[in-house]
Chain A
Amino acid sequence: MTCHGSAASYQVTGWSVVEDKSPSSPGTGEGIGIVELFRNVNVDWLGKKWYFLCFSLIFSVAGVISMGLHWSRNGSPVPLGVDFQGGTQVQLQFQNAPDANAIRSATDAAGIKDVQIVQFDAPEKREMLISLPTPSDASLDAGRKEIVDALDAHYKNPIISTSVQVVGPTVGRQLEKQAALATLYSLIAMLIYLWFRFELIYGVAAVVAVFHDTLITLGFFALTNRELSLTVIAAILTLVGYSMNDTIVVFDRIRENLRLSRREALTDVVNRSINQTLSRTVLTSGLTFLTVLALFVYGGEVLHNFSFALVVGILIGTYSSIAVAAPMLVAYQNWRASKGKAAVLPASRRSK
């Protein structure tokens, strides 16, 4: 199976300024130009489901493999930040441009082991991030004190500002558990809500799509060796929200179209719904991508991993609502039909 050409047959009009001459609108003579992205798009999205499946599988499997590799080397599927792993992180701003090697020789001279020294943010900010693993809850403060003392003694560069994060292993584990539980609960809540508003299968499809996005995003984190922190968890939860949002917009259109034309084949309805919402999908994702990109570029180091998760997540999330969630509905319907059961998909029980 090849994955080439999956993008080759989009018959979109692209950017175009369309003179609106729709016959039924009583012309006012001033000829209003409408800027439009897509109009009368007619793409057979479901016909490409094998390409999609292939694409998703490659990325998911790549994600799983890179997480597996990371696990076998470091004991966790993704690099964990101080929040989850526990440890000491001292962020120092120096008066003069700091030199990582000089800092390292200072910590070496003080006999501190396992020190990680990296430059933080832009060089002109003169900031360094020094990390230590924290062995136990009992000696929480020792690491910070060691580092600062070592620099005071052996590195003649006054420290202007200090930020410290020290997380004991207990808190790390508790935070890990809490983040996992919060995510799980919010997924369940969304599933129940969608079940109530649509049908169970819609909820399942949406949750699978969201899971797919999270998996791939985490895979990217493992692949690029970025650390998972609490803020990144917030970003992942956001992308869950976004992907869900996208999926629901498409589902909402499917629900509406199913009510209007009950005889049409589901495949056609789903295709039409995706096409009808396509310009909205592209616009919204594009604009959100724009804001997130601003965050990525200007948000500084603190928000870097956060915005990275969103940049990846929004692309994948947009893709998954079209390429994962919608085809799942059709696949489910076909599976039921093959077993000789009635279709359950059409319209929600209690939609407005």
Chain B
Amino acid sequence: MKKNLNGKIATIVGVLVICLYGIFGIPHGVTGGALLDAITQRIHLGLDLRGGAHLILQVVVKDAVNAETDNTVARIQQELQSNKLQGLPTKPDPANPQIIKITGIDPGKAGDVRNDLADHYGTEFDITSGADNSVILTMKPSQLTELQAKTVDQAIDTIRDRVDQLGVSEPVIAHYGLGDNQILVELPGVSDLNRVRDIIQSTSRLEVHEVAGNSSGYGSEQEALASLGGALPPDEELLHGDSQGLVSDGQDHVFLVKRVSIVGGRDFRDASAIGVNDSGRQGVNFVLTNAGGERFYDYTSSHVGSYMAITMGDRVKNVAVIKGAIRDQGQIEGQFSKQQIDDLSLTLRTGALPASIIPIEERTVGASLGADSIRQGVIAAVTGMLAVMVFMLIYYRGSGINADLALFLNLVILLGFMGFSHATLTLPGIAGVILTIGMGVDSNVLIFERIREEMRAGKGPAQAVDQGFAHAWTAIFDTHVTTIVSAAILFMFGTGPVKGFATTLVVGLIANLFTAVFVSRVIFDSHVNHKLVGQKLSI
């Protein structure tokens, strides 16, 4: 009785062809070089193999919350003024920027203030009464979470824009699940992180602040505080800067500025470097958005003669006197290097980051070191696999060919999947491949040992094969499902290397269920079909 295997053989050939396509695509030739090109186009190598930089960035979402509530404070102040209500909104706790407290309310008017604010801010804030006739606004948790998520999304967009401007190919910029508000940046081929990091990280929150105290700054924070009588007003802050005017005197200066900026961040639309301007100084030309321009015009027209501080990344870059009303274009002069100006205009063009970011993990792999690892990994994998294949041939003789074919097909399917899914192959991934080979061998050994047992028990080839597969199946199934389950969990909870390892392991094991059980069975069956009655199985 012969089995009809045509359908099954067609399935196997189909899978083989599809997977080969996954690995090679349609190569432009059949020479070794052409095939290698084709492979490297389809199979994406991880940074550890091709070289490149890997960064994990922590977004300081508190910054965004701070900026948001700073705005709210300014709006509340106007609101109260226009409604003829007394009250001074401040943020009492720098560690909790989501809380705004309004003090100095006229006795008996706290209810009015609450009602007034509830109309405008009730959807975003929980409004409660505090001690001493004050009103407290606390940003709602849902609002806070949303703002944080939005901040991270914006940061990702901004970083992507910046990286694109740098011309890095195939960058990865994505959420990173290890902790809250983290971003993963992978830049293949980049081995010098310095400039890239500076550009990515540059908050370059170019802002213009009103100078509250001495326009030429103070020698130290103590000095600045002393001039204020010891206490910093809640709407002002101290910022450091290295220049008093345009020329640095090499000393640290402290400036007292209004906390709320006149214009900043997203108010800038464009910027370009000017080599040397009319007054013989370096600087940056900037253009404001319409809304920003309106605000800047309102401010500058009513503040001619006062001083404004131009700050970047919380440092005062320049203090200038307002000579006349400025609408939407201006120049920033200052102590900038060429690189700084280029980077500044790049970051202004791509929009400011909504919050500062701190790198908390950095890995770079030099391209040649990566090539070294891939060579060693491949040598190890091939050596291991060849040793196993030779052993299987010696130990199981004819049936060893079965096992070897199954192993080979397993590898083809695994690589084919990598080609189709654009999963990246990393060094731990190669280790996963090697372990897949191990499990593949195990399945074959389980089946073959079982077939031998059945033959010893006196069964004929067809029956022995049948029973051998049937009995080995439960063990193979249970071992594979267990390992797949644990690898899947690693994939879900793991990151980086653990994930790369889990990917190849899961795919490899599923491929193995197909090759060791289905394919190997078909080969056995076709073998049995061609045997004469009573002829023995080579196993």
Give chain B residues whose Cβ lies under 8 Å from the Cβ of A197. Answer: 478
Checking B366, B376, B394 against A161 with a beta-carbon cut-off of 8 angstroms, the contacting residue is: B366
Is A290 touching B497 in the complex (CB atoms < 8 A)? no
Give chain A residues whose Cβ lies under 8 Å from the Cβ of B376. Answer: 298-300, 302-303
B411 to chain A minimum Cβ distance, whole angstroms, is 13
Please judge, given known A-B contacts A137-B358, A280-B449, A288-B441, whether A248 and B365 are in contact too, CB under 8 Å: no
Is B497 touching A299 in the complex (CB atoms < 8 A)? no
Give chain B residues whose Cβ lies under 8 Å from the Cβ of A325. Answer: none
Question: Which residues B486-539 have CB closer than 8 A to chain A?
Answer: 486-487, 489-490, 493-498, 501, 505, 534-536, 538-539
Checking A144, A168, A244, A298 against B379 with a beta-carbon cut-off of 8 angstroms, the contacting residue is: A298
Is A284 touching B441 in the complex (CB atoms < 8 A)? yes
Give Cα distance in the complex from A253 to B495, angstroms.
36
B507 to chain A minimum Cβ distance, whole angstroms, is 15
Give Cα distance in the complex from A255 to B477, angstroms.
14
Closest to A233 in B: B498
Please judge, given known A-B contacts A179-B498, A280-B445, A290-B387, whether A303 and B380 are in contact too, CB under 8 Å: yes
Closest to B360 in A: A168
Give chain A residues whose Cβ lies under 8 Å from the Cβ of B427. Answer: 231, 302-303
Please judge, given known A-B contacts A178-B495, A245-B479, whether A170 and B179 are in contact too, CB under 8 Å: yes
Give chain A residues whose Cβ lies under 8 Å from the Cβ of B473. Answer: 352
Is A253 touching B475 in the complex (CB atoms < 8 A)? yes
Give Cα distance in the complex from A253 to B446, angstroms.
11
Is B361 touching A234 in the complex (CB atoms < 8 A)? no
Checking A162, A245, A291, A306 against B364 with a beta-carbon cut-off of 8 angstroms, the contacting residue is: A162
Give chain A residues whose Cβ lies under 8 Å from the Cβ of B354. Answer: none
Please judge, given known A-B contacts A163-B364, A178-B178, A302-B427, whether A288 and B486 are in contact too, CB under 8 Å: no
Task: Check B455 for interface membership: any CB of A closer than 8 A.
Answer: yes
Please judge, given known A-B contacts A179-B498, A300-B376, A303-B380, whether A141 and B536 are in contact too, CB under 8 Å: no
Is B434 touching A351 in the complex (CB atoms < 8 A)? no
Is B456 touching A245 in the complex (CB atoms < 8 A)? no
A85 to chain B minimum Cβ distance, whole angstroms, is 13
Is B441 touching A163 in the complex (CB atoms < 8 A)? no
Give chain B residues whose Cβ lies under 8 Å from the Cβ of A242. Answer: 435, 438
Task: Check B68 for interface membership: any CB of A closer than 8 A.
Answer: no
Is B363 touching A193 in the complex (CB atoms < 8 A)? no
Closest to A198 in B: B478
Give chain B residues whose Cβ lies under 8 Å from the Cβ of A190. Answer: 482, 485-486
Give Cα distance in the complex from A162 to B363, angstroms.
10
Task: Check A58 for interface membership: any CB of B closer than 8 A.
Answer: no
Is B383 touching A166 in the complex (CB atoms < 8 A)? no
Is B428 touching A234 in the complex (CB atoms < 8 A)? yes
A33 to chain B minimum Cβ distance, whole angstroms, is 9
Is B360 touching A137 in the complex (CB atoms < 8 A)? yes
Give Cα distance in the complex from A36 to B453, angstroms.
12
Task: Check B56 for interface membership: any CB of A closer than 8 A.
Answer: yes
Question: Which residues B159-193 have CB closer than 8 A to chain A?
Answer: 178-179, 191, 193
Give chain A residues whose Cβ lies under 8 Å from the Cβ of B435. Answer: 238, 241-242, 291
Task: Check A181 for interface membership: any CB of B closer than 8 A.
Answer: yes
Give chain B residues whose Cβ lies under 8 Å from the Cβ of A284. Answer: 438, 441-442, 445-446
Is B368 touching A280 in the complex (CB atoms < 8 A)? no
Question: Which residues A101-118 have CB closer than 8 A to chain B?
Answer: none
Task: Check B362 for interface membership: any CB of A closer than 8 A.
Answer: yes
Is A30 touching B486 in the complex (CB atoms < 8 A)? no
Task: Check B467 for interface membership: any CB of A closer than 8 A.
Answer: no
B365 to chain A minimum Cβ distance, whole angstroms, is 5
Give chain B residues whose Cβ lies under 8 Å from the Cβ of A241. Answer: 435, 482-483, 486-487, 505
Please judge, given known A-B contacts A245-B482, A248-B478, whether A35 and B394 are in contact too, CB under 8 Å: yes
Is B363 touching A166 in the complex (CB atoms < 8 A)? yes
Task: Check A252 for interface membership: any CB of B closer than 8 A.
Answer: yes
Closest to B370 in A: A163
Closest to A302 in B: B373
Give chain B residues whose Cβ lies under 8 Å from the Cβ of A295. Answer: 380-381, 384, 431, 434
Question: Which residues A183-198 have CB closer than 8 A to chain B?
Answer: 185-187, 189-190, 193-194, 197
Task: Check B197 for interface membership: any CB of A closer than 8 A.
Answer: yes
Q: Which of A93, A137, A165, A237 has most B Cβ within 10 Å?
A: A237
Task: Check B326 for interface membership: any CB of A closer than 8 A.
Answer: no
| CB pairs A–B below 8 angstroms (27 shown) | A125-B372, A140-B359, A141-B197, A144-B362, A163-B363, A165-B363, A178-B495, A179-B498, A186-B487, A186-B490, A190-B486, A193-B482, A233-B498, A234-B428, A234-B490, A241-B435, A252-B474, A279-B449, A280-B445, A284-B442, A284-B445, A291-B388, A291-B438, A292-B434, A292-B438, A293-B384, A298-B376
New A-B contacts (14) at CB < 8 Å, excluding given A182-B498, A245-B482, A294-B380: A28-B534, A28-B536, A144-B362, A161-B367, A164-B363, A167-B361, A193-B482, A231-B427, A233-B498, A238-B505, A245-B442, A299-B380, A303-B431, A352-B474
